[in-house]
Chains A and B, each alone.
Chain A
């Protein structure tokens, strides 16, 4: 075949390997990132920085506490691993906002900026005289984005609660109904793992940050249309709660509070993790034909009378799910992950219901994920060679785009690394003035 396939044509235009040669969508935008003790704020401005915005990361002179939030206290070249990944593409400066002179300098930067991201407890930036109502007077085009635990208004907004990821997960209702069911007749003491379970990754913080990035981009479009800036307010628990799909409606209609259902799916069948000879796979068949194809693939077409199934809905009932799960798991235990995945790919070619085939996917450790040739080929884990931190693997921006792809240009920087360049560029402050400001504790 000499004719290039559609996939080839796309790859030729969006392979991350050629991203550096393309324009950047947001390289006309300057962002002040005042995130404090918040991965949500960092993640939000990363999205903008990956699209080429000039993000000035403003930290107190001792650095942001988030740098110390690192697994098991582990440091790499003196830096925490989470910040190593999420301080990317920024210019790092210090500014001690406790000092009035520093606040005046911040205002000078605000006059030259498009977006400000901050995560201080509500009221603090107002107390410092650099809240939205003050700053809009000096820059009416400013987009002022606040991410906090409970938001800028409402009865809980005066709470002192700091916005940590595990608190967001707890407050969203999405931890309560995720987890293994307590086996019949057992107690929590006997099964300490059969309890409400949060996600390992910082998904609460990530939601807050990503929603805010979408809000900022929508506000930027509005500003292009009208010239007006505005204030944006994310309460982190709301952002993670909003991803829930049906439980709130179910509760309103039937008064049912959704409970844990292990790795099965209250929302429908077939949609489950299943044990195998060497681990586990995910099985997906949300259409009747896919569930039939799965039964057929296992050689159970006749025994389970799959030809007579007319509707998927009855299988979704709780008792039916538990009954069928037991039957299915007994079968999947006979095979390895690899065998089951191959059976599904082959069934799509030769099966009775082909090209319909069930989804079968191996449950991977992140080490297996990082070695998977498919993701490596797609450039997800391409190492970054950083002048300060050396060769590193982080997850890259995951869209592929033909005109303005996101990209990782460098990793985080040490505290205040770019003071010289940024203060010279934006405020005309040379080395001797900077030295004075440093001695005075302003930067």
Chain B
């Protein structure tokens, strides 16, 4: 029984192995498309070394919501970067390039999201790494991929550009209104996730054959893969797919409705038993047998859909979200008020499952983070520690991974191959840092 499988899952999480134990990842990534990918792997137990350009590091370190810093650290840097080791490495310097290759020789995966050709120019591109480590899995993530017109023009890109150029934003708006950008960096986060599907499939292939490979991923192309009916619809009808606001044009009824208290609620009841349940809840049982609504394909037709959604909207307008949620559970259809971020963080169910999880970090302090959202009965993913200042783990990486002596490390600092944080917000430790907390090897 499921209860047996998942008994004490949250409590015993840290007493179990992790699925990617022993897998070593090197990242040269900034913002979100890049770092989020290794951030998924690090939650699954891979050892991730994040290389940043000292002293400023990841561009993301500057980006905070309306100027808000969380305990003097970058609010946005936390989610994509748990469980990593932080190396301040200036890849412009030949000595740093050599260090990178020394690390790459022992690595399983390299991830980067710089513009095409930049890594190659630093002598750490796929072809150079492959020379010393033929089994390497190397992924390059960019706006437009490695070849084609836009890549050739060396166009910069962002998540928002991908939302725009894929048609995703167009399809996520109200009819007659300007296209709307998602408040999420959805193409970054999703592109990063899709990238790991390829990386882990490549790992399976390497487990079988010993062979590595090169993977390229485009942010815009990734989100196009999610857009399902839109492409065959346009191809078959010759018409542009049109946005429909909150209404799901493939499922009926499925829409967002306004409640009596002016808050909003999502409702769906497409299957025969759900639709009948909804009609009962509305005290309109005859609607379930109405020829316009009786089966799903008929109900989805434009006029019929408009009519049933209007009937539901009028009904919901007289109820609170709690009333509708109660009726949904009783009659067997789906309804949920629109959760705010507070609702998610404080949700008892998410907390009990350990999805919303407590982290006790020597630099960032105690806070709630989100766990990798796949619970694995034998090998639970987890967040152990959080973000660090630029170059914070240099000494650990140099000694633990490369066996460098004190003198060698000193030289690497002197020639500028290694570096640490600038005295700038988002780069440095918090003002109350005692000079020791969180350091692994070099505590001065």
Contacts and interface: CB of A to CB of B under 8 A. Distances in A.
26 contacts: A69-B251, A71-B229, A81-B232, A82-B229, A154-B352, A164-B254, A166-B268, A174-B182, A177-B183, A178-B182, A198-B172, A199-B182, A211-B374, A224-B204, A232-B375, A252-B368, A253-B75, A261-B183, A266-B183, A267-B65, A282-B163, A359-B155, A359-B156, A365-B241, A374-B144, A398-B222
Interface residue tally of chain A, by bracket? 35 or more
Contacts of B243: 200
Contacts of B342: 251, 257
A155 B329 CA distance: 14
B332 interface: yes
Given A68-B296, A200-B243, A221 B204 contact: yes
Contact of A166 (B147, B151, B182, B246): B246
B4 A366 contact: no
B308 interface: no
B377 interface: yes
A263 B178 contact: yes
Q: 4 nearest interchain CB pairs?
A: A366-B167, A215-B374, A200-B171, A73-B300
Contact of A198 (B155, B256, B299): B256
Nearest to A268: B63
Interface in B149-206: 149-158, 160-174, 176-186, 189-190, 193-198, 200-205
A316 B67 contact: yes
Contacts, number: 623
B180 A263 contact: yes
A220 interface: yes
A272 interface: yes
Interface stretch (B213-221, B398-406, B436-444): B213-221
Contact of A399 (B4, B67, B79, B195): B195
Given A157-B349, A212-B374, A245-B80, 17 more contacts: A14-B216, A65-B296, A70-B229, A73-B300, A133-B4, A161-B335, A199-B182, A207-B190, A243-B190, A249-B70, A251-B342, A266-B65, A275-B178, A281-B164, A286-B59, A375-B224, A402-B213
Tell me if A's interface is mostly helix, strand, loop or mixed.
mixed
Nearest to B139: A399
A422 interface: no
A157 B235 CA distance: 41
B424 to A, nearest CB: 10
Contacts of B336: 161, 167, 170-171
Given A133-B4, A152-B2, A257 B352 contact: no
Nearest to B20: A218
Contacts of A440: none
A383 B177 CA distance: 32
Interface in B367-395: 367-379
Contacts of B256: 166, 170, 175, 195-196, 198
A246 interface: yes
Interface stretch (A3-11, A97-105, A301-309): A3-11
A195 B236 contact: no
B78 interface: yes
A159 B193 CA distance: 29
B433 interface: no
A416 interface: no
Interface string B240-279: 1101111011110011101000101111101100100000
A7 B246 contact: no
Contacts of A367: 167, 234, 239-241
Interface string A281-299: 1111011001000000000
Interface in A16-44: 23, 25-26, 28-29, 37, 39
B237 to A, nearest CB: 8
A314 to B, nearest CB: 8
A349 B372 CA distance: 42
B339 A172 contact: yes
A249 B117 CA distance: 35
A214 to B, nearest CB: 5
Given A162-B268, A176-B340, A68 B32 contact: no
Contact of A51 (B201, B244, B271, B298): B201
Contacts of B372: 211, 242
B328 interface: yes
B122 interface: no
Nearest to B76: A246
A271 B200 CA distance: 32
Interface string B296-318: 11111110010000000000000
